[in-house]
């Protein structure tokens, strides 16, 4: 007499498709994540009621409260700014510059920076401000 064997039902979950889905989600987020690195210069931006978010520009010129001028994280002399702007605009194929001036910076230094940017051949620049009433983040 031959007995019928019981068919065992496997109740485990196949993890391979789940791992594939998680990996695809991770890959999607890594590819679409936009990384922006702000400079390490401490700047408190002035407030403005009409401030708008600016497009990210690779060339950022910062003016510290002490009057120091930085291109990215490199401190430069304001007299060298036109040459540096000309070189950077040509090398990065960029047409716009962002100027971040501390609210305690002297207007005279800001005007020198704007003149240096214009003498360097850039006419599309913006001076970055914070929206009034928002908590102003401090760059570190």
Q: How far apart are CA 51 and CA 3, in angstroms?
A: 83
* pLDDT digits 0-9 by tens, 13-40: 788 889 999 999 999 988 888 765 555 5
pLDDT at 130: 75
For residues 35, 41, 42, 44, the Cα torsion angle rounded to the nearest 10 degrees is -70
The burial of 10, by beta-carbon neighbours within 10 Å (0-12 exposed, 13-18 middle, 19 or more buried), is given as exposed
Taking a C-beta distance cutoff of 8 angstroms, is the pair 116, 81 a contact?
yes
Model confidence over 76-102: pLDDT tens digits? Answer: 998 999 999 888 888 877 778 888 888
Which pTM value belongs to this model? 0.56
Class of the domain covering 47-131: alpha beta
Task: Quickly tell me which residue has 């990996």 as its tokens.
Answer: 23
* Cβ atoms of 122 and 57 closer than 8 Å: no
């Amino acid at each position: 007499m031959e007995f019928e064997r019981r068919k065992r039902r496997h109740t485990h979950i196949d993890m391979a498709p789940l791992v594939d889905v998680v990996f695809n989600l991770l890959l999607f987020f890594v590819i679409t994540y936009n990384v922006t690195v702000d400079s390490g210069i401490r700047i408190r931006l002035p407030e403005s009621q009409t401030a708008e978010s600016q497009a990210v520009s690779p060339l950022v010129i910062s003016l510290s409260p002490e009057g120091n001028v930085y291109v990215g994280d490199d401190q430069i002399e304001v007299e060298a700014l036109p040459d540096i702007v000309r070189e950077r605009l040509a090398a990065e194929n960029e047409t716009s510059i962002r100027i971040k001036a501390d609210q305690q910076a002297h207007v005279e230094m800001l005007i020198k920076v704007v003149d240096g940017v214009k003498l360097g051949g850039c006419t599309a620049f913006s001076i970055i401000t914070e929206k009034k009433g928002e908590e102003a983040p401090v760059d570190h």
